[in-house]
Amino acid sequence: MHLVRRGAMEVIHPGRPALQVSVPSLLLYPRPMSRRFVTDAQRGADLVCADLQFDGGISNPVSAALPDVICVALDDVDGADQVLTLLFDEAFGNNCGRHVLIDRLFEVVLVQVLRHLMETGQISGGMMAGLSHPRLRKALVAMHEQPGQEWSLDTLASISGMSRTVFANSFRSVVGCTPGAYLQGWRIRLAQQALRQGRALKVIAIEVGYGSEAALSRAFKAQCGMTPREWRNFTRTSRE
């Protein structure tokens, strides 16, 4: 994430048109992308940067729902003025504890920007689009807060205040997959997080709603192409 406080710049991305930034703006890159900033040699620009890490990387539902590059004028983000003023003061100052505070302030700015994108309809699919829907968001929040529960289509439809058929069709149209596929993806991402922490497979299976190692292994392999143990060994080798 990059916050431009002052100055104009050209942002160059290989293989796509350059981005012109002429007002204080936020640039967000949900996924790795090469870029180069070009500013006026004499006027320069004030830029504050942060490295955002979405759990699960590019498979994270938030990251996956966002476009490759997001550029938002800071004046367009409601309620961001005070947070941005404090963030810039800390970033360009030398106060004790500034790094911790800057990290938290960037998180607040990210939430405000995501809210802005949802409210202005700039996200067309995935979890973020679902959270923008006044009824589907209820089912998504329920699945995220209680992934271990046995969620049936009827129950999720009831939570959303919709019929079974309307809910299923609306979910697929807005989010881009069936409720069952979304729930499985969320459970597997939680299982991956727990595997990184070295937790027991049997405990993980119960917590994410599969009840047994065998059931989790089948779902995990269908989603990732390998069993949980193979995935854990693969990620360990990749880090070494």
Note down pLDDT in tens along the chain; length 240 residues: 898 888 899 999 988 999 999 998 999 988 888 999 999 888 888 888 888 776 655 567 777 778 889 999 988 888 888 888 888 888 888 888 888 888 888 888 888 888 888 878 777 678 888 888 889 999 999 999 999 999 999 999 999 999 999 999 999 999 989 999 999 999 998 999 899 888 999 999 999 999 899 999 999 999 999 999 999 888 877 655
Residue 209 identity: G
Contact 25, 74 (CB under 8 A): yes
* Residues whose CB is less than 8 angstroms from the CB of residue 89 and which lie 6 or more positions away in sequence, other chains included: none
Class for the domain spanning 181-238: mainly alpha
Contact 101, 90 (CB under 8 A): yes
Contact 58, 31 (CB under 8 A): yes
| Sequence ranges of the domains in the chain | 2-120, 126-177, 181-238
